[in-house]
Amino acid sequence: MKKYVAFFVAAAFLLGSPLLAVAGEYYGKQKVVYHVNYDDPKQQAAAMRNIQNHINAVGAENLDLRVVMHGAGVSLLKRANDDPDFQSKVINLKAQHVGFKVCNNTLVGKKIDYESDLFDVSKADIVPSGVAELAKLQAEGFVYIKP
Amino acid sequence: MSDRDDKLSEEMLNALVDGDFPPEEQAEMWARLRADDELTDRACEIRTLKDLVSIAHQDVPAPPEFAQVKRRGAAGSLAVAAAVLLFVVGAILGWQLREVPVGAGDRFVVLDPSGRGQAPLQQEHSDETRIVFHITSPDDVRAEELLDEIEGMLVQFQKEGRALRIEVVAHNEGLNLLRSHLSKHKRHIADLAARFPNLTFVACQNTINRIQVEQGVEVTLIPEAIRTESGVAHVVKRQAEGWAYIQG
């Protein structure tokens, strides 16, 4: 039984040792795009939590991270206008160089004025099409994540 | 076919699957089998059953293997690892066998014989944008939004003369989109498919088989839908081919 236990301790050590290395070194540089097209506030808040955990693991300096919002997902930045919890989450992520990109098709289709209806959006944050942006970023080597 | 014939061929099929015949008789039997769809189906069933039975027995020897660890040390650990590996392989095999089509009439259709929606060679269309959408939710509002977005993109690319190829893969509950009795977007899909040959709708055959077994209903698809054996494998393949992936 002793040898049996020793075998697993050794195996666990061998498998686990890379995790002990500095997180940034272990994961290297990453380009990631997060896709948000849903209105559910719980799901949106969870997505922002995921992103923060992702940054914690990889390091903001190693990440080029964008959030692409379109369709119902644009409501995330509407909520950030009214809901202090959403607002602080967005401010914190932006401080760590997360880009929040908004789909122009959605703005036009839903008659949303990004200056008054959405939290802290400038012209540079508007992309012509959310879907096309997701395709373009993936072609540029970004990894797609839908939380 | 009389009872006696039936019984005889059942035994013969079993023996054939077991490899009990001498080579020349075996070759003759396989030839007969190929000529008869019903016989082929039954041979497949027997084979599936045998495999399932053998897989079911694979995890039984595991406890004695654990017991031997004490005596055999490192070799015992290796044996444990091998047993675990064998069990995992068995489980995977079993899982795949579970997906073997049950309704013989509803055969798997080779994906896209006309070449529509197939990934073209990279060097020929290096500037072509290719996107695979993966639909897994039955949400009709989101589906409508998605079809509108896809349409917008197709129109835009066509206007600008840029190459675009889109596949919509429906899987699990997302299959509703392509089921003729359940889809709320039949007209929209028919219209889009007629206007844009670079748009393909793909249904997951595994999902269809599962629904047919679990719910005992015949799944019929809208005419625009083609089938792929596994929706998941299909979107993975597309991503490996360099397509962009978007979850609906």
Q: Is B248 within 8 Å of B136 (Cβ atoms)?
A: yes
**Structural domain range at position B243:** 129-247
Question: What is the average pLDDT score of chain B?
Answer: 77
Give the DSSP letter string of B60-127.
TTHHHHHHHHHHHTHHHHHHHHHHHHHHHHHHHHHHHHHTS-S-TTSPPPPS-TT-TTPPPPTTTTTT
Residues 112-131 of A with CB under 8 A from B: 129-131
Q: Which of A104-118, B88-102, B133-147 has the lowest mean pLDDT?
A: B88-102
Nearest to A1 among B70, B74, B245 (CB): B70
Whether residue B108 lies inside any domain: the answer is no
The stretches of chain A forming alpha helices (DSSP H) are 2-20, 23-27, 41-58, 75-82, 84-95, 104-109, 114-117, 130-139
The phi, psi pair for A116, rounded to 5°, reads -100, -30
Chain segment A87-139, per-residue pLDDT in tens: 999 999 999 999 999 999 999 999 999 999 999 999 999 999 999 999 999 99
Q: Does one domain contain both B34 and B83? A: yes
Q: Do B159 and B67 fall within a single domain? A: no
Q: How many domains does chain B have?
A: 2
- Kindly state whether residue B106 falls inside one of the protein's structural domains: no
Residues B27, B87, single domain; the answer is yes
Domain presence at residue B122: no
Of A3, A7, A135, the CB nearest to B129: A135
Residue B236 has pLDDT above 70, yes or no: yes
Once rounded to an integer, what is the mean pLDDT over residues A49-73?
Answer: 96
> DSSP character for B179?
B
Q: Give me chain A's average pLDDT, please.
A: 90
Judge whether B180 lies within some domain: yes
- Do B78 and B135 lie in one domain? The reply is no
pLDDT in tens, A63-82: 999 999 999 999 999 999 99
CB–CB of B77 and A7 under 8 A?
A: yes
Domain end position, chosen among B76, B98, B120: B98
CATH, domain A23-145, list 3.40.50.300, 3.40.50.2000, 3.40.1260.10, 1.25.40.10: 3.40.1260.10
Q: Do residues B55 and B156 both lie within one domain?
A: no
Residues B142 and B243 in one domain: yes
For the cut 90, the answer to whether the pLDDT of residue B111 exceeds it is no
- Do B240 and B191 share a structural domain? yes
Other beta carbons within 10 Å of A122: 8
CATH code assigned at B149:
3.40.1260.10
Confidence grade of residue B102 (pLDDT, cut at 50, 70, 90): very low
Asked if the C-beta of B158 comes within 8 angstroms of chain A's C-beta atoms, the answer is no
**Residue bearing the bigger pLDDT, A6 or A69:** A69
The answer, yes or no, to whether residue B55 has pLDDT greater than 70, is no
Report ipTM for this prediction. 0.79
**Is B188 a member of any domain?**
yes
Query: Quick check: A140 pLDDT over 60?
Result: yes
Q: Name the amino acid, one letter, at B114.
A: S
* Among the listed residues B220, B212, B238, the one whose alpha carbon sits nearest the alpha carbon of residue B100: B212
